[in-house]
Amino acid sequence: MKIKKLSILSFALALALVVCVTTAFAASAAAKNNNSISVPSIIYRDDATNKTSEAALGSEDGYQSLLALKSADYLNQTVADFDKALLDWENQHSEEHENIIQNDIATYSFPAHLTTEEKSFLTLTIRVSNIENSLLVKSYYGSPVITPDLSFELARESQETDPLTWLSLMYGISYHLDPQVVTVGERDTALANAINDIQSFWYDTDLETLAEMSSDEVFFKLNAIADDNITNAVQLSIVENYHIFLSSSMFGEQKIKRPATGKNRC
């Protein structure tokens, strides 16, 4: 009788354990299917990019159809699958593709009704996938397959320094991944973290300290930031031929710092 009681107790404990484990896995699966991945929004520190522009060309219907790609599980899709969905949209909305992607996203000109999250989706996810699709289409016509990259321009100036100083930075960040395996969330997270870290370095560094840095030092710092954000899924690097750092003091004294090697790429 004693052994039987222990067996019943053991069975009850085992049953409870099974229920708990099943619940845990079910919750985990639900969270995954509910787009549990959180990609940091790109926070543009330049005031000019945070103002609503009246020059937006895309129609409201066009934006709604494009934002429909921001489904509940889009971050869990492979890059290849999402890129194909965007390519299908572009083929069906050629005019809106030109107005929204080629104009509005490229110039950061958006209608007032868009949220910050929607703008981030457009300026990162859609922009990156559009670049990937463009390179893919070019490869069909014999162009060599190249690594995709994003280019950015940053600027700072101060009227409180003597002499007055302005700074300008152009840089490109390239990335390598397997689009058949890597998810949109993995790609976007790596890129967003690197872009935000570069902006933090640029805007949070003391202006005079930044102005005294050489182009090579800035390039080394950007590469260090890219290295810090490399993941098992996404490799990042700074495009050397696109890196331009300029520092100038106004009213006669001018310092121009150019990269030691490489040509400017437009």
CA quadruple 104, 120, 152, 190: dihedral positive or negative? negative
- Core vs surface per residue 66-96: b (16+ CB within 10 A) or e: bbebeeeebbbbbbbebbbbbbebbeebeeb
Q: Among 86-95, 137-146, 167-176, 207-216, where is mean pLDDT lowest?
A: 137-146
Kindly tell me if the per-residue pLDDT of 253 is higher than 80.
no
Proportion of the chain above pLDDT 70, given as a percent:
73
For residue 220, the SS3 value is helix
DSSP 192: H
**What is d(CA 25, CA 29) in angstroms, rounded to the nearest whole number?**
6
CA 226 to the chain's CA centroid: 12
**Mean pLDDT confidence for 78-95:** 96
Kindly tell me if the per-residue pLDDT of 148 is higher than 80.
yes
**What is d(CA 266, CA 48) in angstroms, rounded to the nearest whole number?**
22
**What is d(CA 70, CA 139) in angstroms, rounded to the nearest whole number?**
27
Contact 40, 189 (CB under 8 A): yes
pLDDT attached to residue 164? 76
- The residue type at 264: N
Kindly indicate the confidence band of residue 262, based on its pLDDT and cuts at 50, 70 and 90: very low
pLDDT attached to residue 260? 43
Kindly indicate the confidence band of residue 265, based on its pLDDT and cuts at 50, 70 and 90: very low
149 CB-near residues (< 8 Å, 6+ apart): 131, 172, 173, 174, 175, 239, 242
- pTM exceeds 0.95: no
Selected residue with higher pLDDT from 109 and 163: 109
